[in-house]
């Protein structure tokens, strides 16, 4: 059987949004990653999503605040319209706090769950609220790959941008887990990164993946700063930090991002 010639898979990073511990937005994250500002690990502050109608705003959980803040920042930076964009949401697990409340209620004698608690329990809650907030009726992928969720989401978003020849917004995010779930899933705080990816030229940088050598056994690129490296390892969505640093510095070359053990995602970055 003849093999089709495999062109590299590529996409342009057109806009970035970040929200995490000690990182209020991309401007601040960029300064930290360029060593222009020291990193101070402060608890992540979640803004109130004014864009939501009041009823939804009241029900908005951390995943919703995180994705609206980081996603809208990336969309604005890219000069795109959120209402027209396809999205890829990726998170390493469900909303841990909401899940804790449900499991605690189910283990109690009355087993009562509030309807809001239940509809917020779906993995696509952030995607649903995003649609309500922005009016976007475009397709929205909602993925999970445990600790590989950022790399899996990036790959999916790049494939989608290429397949549809239209921009795609990637939103990777994780929220903290309360006790006792934290014993088995020690995610200490919230972190989100959003990348507006465009199939056409322009933007900050071009990302390329070789379809014939997607994964590598090489270890993931690390952060030099100990506190940022600790953040990268503590929250799965923060596995994006080496990519964000390369974007902040405009460093061309090869990057290896954490995916699954022994199978990391290899990327080539070329600044525009």
Partner 1 sequence: MSLALPPLRVSRYTATSCLGAGLSSHVEALREARSGLAPCRFDTVDLPTWVGEVAGLEGQRLPEQFADFDCRNNRLAELALLQDGYADAVEEAVLRYGRERIGLFLGTSTSGILQTELAYRELDAQGALPAGFHYARTHNTFSLAAYVRARFGLRGPVSITSSACSSSAKVFGTAQRMIAAGLVDCALVGGVDSLCLTTLYGFNSLELLSSAPCRPFDAARSGLSLGEAAAFALLERAPTQMTADAVLLLGVGESSDAYHMSSPHPDGLGARLAMEQALRQAGLQPEDIDYINLHGTATPSNDAAEGRAVGALFGAGVTCSSTKGATGHTLGAAGGIEAVLSLLALREGLLPGSPGTAALDPAIADVAPLDYVLSPRAGEPRRVLSNSFGFGGTNCSLVLARGDAR
CB-nearer residue toward partner 1: 209 or 248: 209
Instruction: Give the E-state strand segments of 24-72 in sequence order.
Output: none
d(CA 197, CA 158): 7
CB of 74 to partner 1, least distance (A): 18
d(CA 114, CA 140): 26
d(CA 173, CA 238): 8
d(CA 143, CA 124): 9
How long is the chain? 272
Strand-pair partners of 205: 13, 271
CB-nearer residue toward partner 1: 31 or 214: 214
CB of 7 to partner 1, least distance (A): 7
Number of other CB atoms surrounding residue 254 within 10 Å? 12
CB of 132 to partner 1, least distance (A): 6
d(CA 243, CA 221): 9
d(CA 75, CA 35): 25
CB-nearer residue toward partner 1: 119 or 254: 119
CB of 85 to partner 1, least distance (A): 11
CB-nearer residue toward partner 1: 213 or 226: 213
Containing H/E element for 151? helix 149-164
CB-nearer residue toward partner 1: 75 or 141: 141
CB-nearer residue toward partner 1: 132 or 234: 132
CB of 118 to partner 1, least distance (A): 3
CB of 99 to partner 1, least distance (A): 7
Q: What is the dihedral of CA 120, 187, 62, 15, to 10 degrees?
A: -110
CB of 202 to partner 1, least distance (A): 17
Task: Give me the sign of the Cα torsion angle 127, 90, 65, 116.
Answer: positive
CB-nearer residue toward partner 1: 24 or 122: 122
């Amino acid at each position: 059987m003849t093999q089709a010639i495999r062109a590299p898979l590529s996409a342009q990073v057109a806009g970035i949004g970040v929200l995490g511990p000690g990182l209020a937005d991309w401007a601040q994250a960029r300064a930290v990653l360029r060593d222009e500002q020291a990193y101070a690990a402060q608890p992540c502050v979640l803004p109130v999503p004014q864009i939501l109608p009041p009823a939804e705003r009241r029900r908005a959980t951390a995943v919703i605040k995180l994705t609206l803040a980081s996603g809208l920042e990336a969309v604005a930076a890219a000069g795109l319209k959120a209402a027209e964009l396809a999205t890829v949401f990726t998170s390493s697990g469900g909303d841990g706090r909401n899940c804790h409340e449900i499991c605690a209620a189910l283990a109690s004698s009355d087993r009562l769950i509030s309807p809001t608690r239940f509809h917020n329990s779906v993995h696509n809650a952030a995607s649903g609220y995003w649609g309500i907030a922005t009016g976007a009726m475009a397709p929205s992928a909602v993925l999970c790959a445990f600790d590989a969720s950022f790399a899996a989401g990036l790959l999916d978003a790049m494939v989608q941008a290429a397949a549809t020849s239209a921009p795609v917004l990637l939103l990777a995010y994780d929220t903290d887990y309360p006790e006792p779930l934290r014993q088995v899933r020690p995610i200490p705080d919230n972190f989100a990164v959003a990348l507006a990816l465009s199939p056409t030229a322009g933007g900050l940088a071009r990302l390329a993946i070789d379809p014939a050598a997607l994964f590598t056994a090489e270890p993931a690129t690390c952060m030099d700063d100990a506190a940022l490296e600790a953040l990268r390892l503590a929250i799965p969505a923060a596995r994006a930090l080496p990519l964000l640093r390369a974007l902040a510095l405009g460093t061309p070359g090869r990057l290896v991002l954490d995916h699954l053990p022994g199978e990391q995602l290899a990327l080539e970055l070329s600044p525009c």
